[in-house]
Amino acid sequence: MLEKCRNAQERWGGVSDIIDSWLEERQRLISTFVALPQQNADEALKEHIQEFSQLMMDYISSGHFEVYEQLLKEGSEFNDGSLETAQELFPRIQTSTDAALDFNDLYSSFEGQTLQEMHELTCQLSSLGESLEERFALEDKMIEVLHTAHREQVFAETQA
């Protein structure tokens, strides 16, 4: 997952400060997520889960309220079907938003006192990881369709 994030940053880094910042935020989120299983089942785990949950909520909020809006604005400037394609991605992205919100509701104040709670956390993290990975792929596709696909056209217009 971390490698895919780096690849996305290499492909789209520098094209927009908003996208750059958001991809950096994604990388921090993934790094924190990947580090969760290495935490001891103590106070540090609770703090790490809270940090992860906060980063995840910030990332999702930035996506919905800044990045997607910017991408849709860019896509609307071109009448090439890219906007329609991107809008088909939103319901699929929303599924992972719901999963993230559910995780946050369940674990933002995680106590982890029992083996059962630790087992449930492990299962939830696995499911959430799959959901986030799909989300990142959909977001990358949205960037590709709404931003990257028009880069050459914009460049050509600025050179004319």
Amino acid (one-letter) located at 4: K
CA distance 129 to 37: 12
Among 73, 80, 68, smallest CA distance to 153 is for 80
For 2-159, the fitting CATH number among 1.20.120.1370, 3.40.50.2000, 3.40.50.620, 1.10.10.10 is 1.20.120.1370
What residue segments make up the domains of the chain, in order of their start? 2-159
Kindly tell me if the per-residue pLDDT of 10 is higher than 80. Answer: no
Q: Which two tokens stand for residue 11?
A: 């492909």
Per-residue confidence (pLDDT) for residue 9, from 0 to 100: 55
Predicted confidence (pLDDT) per residue in 56-66, tens digit: 999 999 999 98
Kindly tell me if the per-residue pLDDT of 14 is higher than 50. Answer: no
Contact of 102 with 132, CB cutoff 8 Å: no
Amino acid (one-letter) located at 16: S
